[in-house]
Structure 1
């Protein structure tokens, strides 16, 4: 179903964070009725059905980042797996152009993966979290379809 190499790359991309899942994320996802698994990093892994019998992998990170008085949680979804560690100029430009039009989030490079990342307040309620998950899911899947025509994630 989902490529093992890509999952390994994503796990290492997240870095060494505590493997303790954040219970506030579980509570919000449960209230939304979203099925999930907790991965070895303590992040919440979900697979959503999208248009035309496609699926999309999404992670809600348990780790919280701080910037000044802000506490930020990230929602990640892979959209492209490059054949090498370097993206071609065409792919990199396409991702940058897409990030310009994205209402929530932007593209980041994690090793050979292009990940769409939405950052929200760490204490975001269910509707805000649902919007962020939806943005990551659909944006990443649309890019994957456009760049590869495949449904790897």
Structure 2
């Protein structure tokens, strides 16, 4: 399975610098209610593989931590699309990601180590429907960008 090494690399990269954490049971309840299959990674984050059509698949993560900013609580939903071999994004790729972020209505592109990751930030108490919409938005945006940046690759 070609995705296993990429999943392991991505999970390791995303976990770098983070202490092992417990999975948030509220996420499991929501995913179970939505009928979504998942695994829990070593960080306690929820990892899913979505079918993207035409034999393609796309990784999506729901992070277990809930972050706070003032009166806001935030949960992040991630989907990777690109890996820079040397860790630095070429200028054309970085600019393309910035321009794509401007065009999105839900989520934005971020750099996590050597990966370009589409991140949707939702309320910490987002409904099942809001979680589903965020996962769909992340999966679709990341798969489209992966196609654009790799000429059709499907590593994520």
Name the TM-score class by shorter chain. Answer: over 0.9
Distance in 1 of aligned mates of 2:7 and 2:27: 24
Distance in 1 of aligned mates of 2:9 and 2:85: 15
1:13 corresponds in structure 2 to 14
**1:34 and 2:36 are equivalent in the alignment:** yes
Task: Report the TM-score when normalising by structure 1.
Answer: 0.94
Distance in 2 of aligned mates of 1:10 and 1:78: 11
Contact 2:13/2:113 (8 A) holds in 1: no
1:2 corresponds in structure 2 to 3
Detail structure 1 runs of 4+ shifted over 2 Å in the superposition. 3-15
Deviation at 1:8, TM superposition (A): 2.7
Distance in 1 of aligned mates of 2:10 and 2:35: 28
Unaligned runs of 5+ in 2: none
Query: CA 1:121–1:108 in structure 2 vs 1: closer, same or farther (change >3 Å)?
Result: same
- What SS does the aligned partner of 2:3 have? coil
Higher mean C-alpha displacement, 12-21 vs 111-120: 12-21
Task: Report the TM-score when normalising by structure 2.
Answer: 0.92
Aligned-residue CA RMSD (Å):
1.4
Distance in 1 of aligned mates of 2:50 and 2:142: 12
Distance in 1 of aligned mates of 2:29 and 2:154: 30
- CA displacement 1:26-77 (0-9 Å, x = unmatched): 0000000000001110000000001211000000000111100111000000
- CA displacement 1:90-128 (0-9 Å, x = unmatched): 000110111011111000111110000000001111000
Higher mean C-alpha displacement, 121-130 vs 9-18: 9-18
Counting matched residue pairs gives 153
Distance in 1 of aligned mates of 2:36 and 2:6: 25
